[in-house]
Amino acid sequence: MTTPTPHPRTASRRRAMPTAALAATAATLALTLGGLSPAAAAPPTASPHAAPVDLGREVLPAGDGWASWSGTTRPEGVPRTAEPVTGGADAAPAEVYVVSDWPQLRDALAGRPGGSQNDARYNQTPRIVYVTGTIDPWERADGTRMTCDDIAGTVTVAGGGAFAMADYIAAFGPGIDPSGPLEAARVEAAAVQARATLQHIGSNVTLVGVGDDARIVGASLRIRDAHNVIVRNLTLSDAYDCFPQWDANDAGGNWNSAYDNLSVWTSTSVWIDHNTFDDGAHPPLSLERVYGRPFEVHDGFVDITHGADLVTMSWNWLQNHDKTDLIGSSDSRTQDRGQHRVTQHHNRWTDIGQRAPRVRYGDVHVYNNLYEQTALSLQESTPGVPFFQYYWGAGRESSIVAEGNAIELADASTVDRIIAGWGGTELSASDTLVDGEPVDVLAAYNQTAATPLNATTRWRPADAYAYALTPVDEVAGVVRAGAGAGVLDSGTPVATAAPGAFAVSDDNGWDTGLRDGDFTVRGDLWWGQNATVAKLFENGVLIDAAALSAATPAAQQVAFDVRARGNGTYRYEIVALNPYGVTTSRTHVVTVTDAAPGVAVLRASGVWANDVTVTMDLWWGQNATEYVLWKDGVEIDRHALTAATPGAQHAQTHVGALTPGTHVFTAVLRGPGGETATSPREVTVD
User: Cα 188 from chain centroid?
Assistant: 27
| CA nearest to 242, candidates 229, 231, 255, 253 | 255
Helix (H) / strand (E) containing 195: helix 181-197
| CA nearest to 114, candidates 123, 104, 122 | 104
Tell me: cis bond preceding 244? Omega within 30 of 0 counts: no
Q: Is 355 a catalytic residue?
A: yes
Torsion of CA 461, 466, 472, 473, to 10 degrees: 180
β-pair partners for 199? 221
Residue type, position 553, single letter? P
| CA nearest to 356, candidates 348, 404, 397 | 348
- Supply the DSSP string of 362-427, one letter for each residue: -EEEEES-EEE--GGGG--SBTTB-S---SEEEETT-EEEEES-EEE-SSGGGGGGSEEEEB--BE
β-pair partners for 501? none
Separation of alpha carbons 193 and 678, rounded Å: 62
Reported residue count of the chain is: 686
C-beta separation of 68 from 60 below 8 A: yes
Q: What are the two backbone dihedrals, phi and then psi, of residue 220, each rounded to the nearest 5 degrees? A: -120, 120
Separation of alpha carbons 228 and 268, rounded Å: 7
Separation of alpha carbons 213 and 210, rounded Å: 7
Separation of alpha carbons 567 and 555, rounded Å: 33
Identified catalytic residue from 127, 348, 355, 396 = 355
CB-count exposure of residue 557 (10 Å: 0-12, 13-18, 19+): middle
Residues acting as catalytic residues: 355
